[in-house]
Structures are given as structure tokens and as C-alpha cells.
Structure 1
Amino acid sequence: MQVSNVSGNDQDWQVRLEFSGGRVTTAWVMNAQQGKLRENDGIYTYTGGADLAPGASVRLMFHVERAETRPVACSVNGVTCSGL
């Protein structure tokens, strides 16, 4: 999934994902500083390792076991994901 900063300021970022019946085994960003993946009651949160500059984007990759690859719920900084 692509995470983009459409604001005019540097932004920290956090992605929350939930998958039906499965689990995320790993997550990483392409060509950027890595962040941290945490799990709490089946909800996975990836916190970016660096702020995104205005207009910048990163590609967040994740490996899911025993579930559809499309999450049942997704948000970035509290805003529902689009285009999944």
C-alpha cells in the first residue's frame, strides 16, 4: 500500500490494519527508514521510522498468513484508507 503526505508539513505516520482470521508476520517500507510493527488484539499498527515530507510517499509492504491480503479495516493517522 502507498502512504502519501498530501499536507504542506512534515508528517509522522501510523497505519492500522485488521485482517479477518489471519495475522501479519512482517511489515516494511520500500527505500525508506524502517519503522515498527506492533500487534494488539488482532489489530496491527505500523509506525513509520521517519516523517514524510510534503508530497512524499512510501510503499508499505506486509506479509499476511491465513487471511485475505486485503484488510477488513485500514486507517492512516486515523483516516480510513482509500484505494485498497
Structure 2
Amino acid sequence: MGASVLGNIGSTIAQGMAFGTNSAVAHKAVDAVMGPRTIQHETVVSEAAAAPEPTATTMGGSDACSIKSKAFQDMCLTLISHCWFVVV
């Protein structure tokens, strides 16, 4: 019974990897036809928030969230560029 459970887990992992790979290929195909996706961030400033107090995330001249977001995006792009699978 132990081998069957391991086989089922392995099969599930393989199906997940195939689904993820096919999804990535489909996204690339849509990007090729429609153009790359872009995200636009908009900031609305009200009079009450016109002069915010300095916080831990804005001290030091850069936004900590932006730095972490950029690092995450760079890591994702690096992983994607190294992981090309051919599913038959």
C-alpha cells in the first residue's frame, strides 16, 4: 500500500508540473499575440494625506515594498528563464 501512495503523490506532482508548464506556455502565446501585459499603479492623494509622517517603509529614501517587489519579480524572471520544459 505504501508504493501506491507514493505513486499517487508522484503522479499528482507530475500533473501539477504539466499543468503549470502548459499554463506558462499559454500565457506566452497570448503575450505574443496581444502584447505584453502591463501593470499601472495609480496613487490618489487626498488633502489629509498630502504630508504623511515618515514611516519605517519610506525612511531611507526608497520604498521597502517596491524594493521587495522588484526583487521578487527579478527572481521569478530568473526562474522562468531557466525552466523550459517540453511536454509531449
Query: What TM-score do you get using the length of structure 1 for normalisation?
Result: 0.21
TM-score (norm 2): 0.20
Q: Which of the pair has the greater relative contact order for Cα pairs under 8 Å at 6+ separation?
A: 1
Where is the helix percentage greater, Structure 1 or Structure 2? 2
Question: Which has the greater radius of gyration?
Answer: 2
Which structure dedicates a bigger proportion of its chain to strand?
1
